[in-house]
Amino acid sequence: MLIEGSDDIVKEANVLAGYAILNYRTVASFGNADLLIKQYDKLMQGPVRLYLKKAHLIGLSFGFSNFSMFITWAILYYAAAKFISDRVIPIEDVDNTLLSIIVILFGA
């Protein structure tokens, strides 16, 4: 799942990594491992920033969806507890009240 504009840079970084892996003896004999790592890091800086922005957006939307679900649960349970404590709902119907809350939540 590449972000638009980062696929060429990622391909170039993958080619560099593949070259280093296939020619590891040459890389090790010339002592170029640090240079290749620095080049790979430099190539991946742009895509990493783009992916971090996307990850933050996904995290915020996931957090908001969980928040909205749990706040709905809290409001329903609070309302049920308030109705029960104010004797609007008879104590005999508490089981049915909680069951109806669960049905509403899972149905939604």
Nearest to 84 by CA among 96, 72, 74: 96
Q: What is the mean pLDDT of residues 95-103?
A: 86
Kindly tell me the burial class for residue 66, based on how many C-beta atoms sit within 10 Å of its own C-beta (0-12, 13-18, 19 or more): exposed
Dihedral sign of CA atoms 17, 19, 23, 25 in order: negative
For residue 1, the model assigns a pLDDT of 52
* Statement: residue 92 has pLDDT above 80: yes
Q: What is the mean pLDDT of residues 4-31?
A: 80
- Under the banding of pLDDT at 50, 70 and 90, the label for residue 3 is low
Q: What is the pLDDT of residues 36-83, one digit of tens each?
A: 889 888 988 888 888 899 999 999 999 999 999 899 889 988 998 898
Dist CA 12 CA 10 (whole Å): 5
For residue 34, the model assigns a pLDDT of 87
Dist CA 10 CA 90 (whole Å): 64
